[in-house]
Amino acid sequence: MLSFITRRFASVTLGPRACVPNSLFKTTPLVPIQNNIIQRNFSTSKPLQVTINQCIRGIRGTRRKKNRVKALEGNPFKKATVLKVMEMTPRKPNSAKRKVVKVKLSTGKIILSYVPGVGHSLQPHSIVLVRGGRCQDLTGIRYKCVRGRYDFAGVQGRMMGRSKYGTKKPKN
C-alpha cells in the first residue's frame, strides 16, 4: 500500500504540514468466509476524514491552540509584583466585593488579577505567581493569582479542593 502512495505522489512535493490519511496505513487482517469472499474485521476506530487534495495542499495539518491570555506571552505562569490591592463589584445579578490586585509582570506589563479564596495578606511589593483564567462575574479580569507560591499563602483551614487554594494536607 505504501508503494502505491509513493508512485501516486512521486511528482508532488509534500510540505511540512502535509499529512497522509491513517486509513492508508491501517492494515486490518482479512477473514475468508464462504464462496471465497473476503471480508474485513470490524474496527471501532473512526477513519480520518481527510481527502487526498487536502493532504497535498497541507491545509488539514495539526492545529495549535490559541493562547488568549496575551500578557503571559504563551507561558502558563508569570511572576509578578503587587502594585495595588483593590475591591471590585461584580456584574448583575451578583453583588459582593471581589478582591483584585494590580500587578506588574516580570515582562513589565501591568494587569489586574483576581485573588481566589477567603482572606489574603497581600500588600504592595508582595511577589505572586499569575496564571490565566478569567473571573466570570468581573469585567476585564482575565488572570488569577496562584495561592501557596511566593508571598501568597494558601487558604487556612481549607479541607476540600485544597490544590486550588494552596493548602497543604493536614497531618493526623
Q: Which CATH number characterizes residue 97's domain?
A: 2.40.50.140
pTM of the model: 0.62
Which residues, in sequence order, are bridge partners of residue 82?
103
Q: What is the pLDDT of residues 60-75, one digit of tens each?
A: 666 676 667 788 888 9
Q: Which domain holds residue 98?
A: 70-153
29 occurs within a structural domain: yes
Q: What is the pLDDT of residue 96?
A: 93
Tally the domains of the chain: 2
Q: What is the pLDDT of residues 105-119, one digit of tens each?
A: 999 999 999 999 999
98 and 142 housed in the same domain = yes
162 occurs within a structural domain: no
62 occurs within a structural domain: no
171 occurs within a structural domain: no
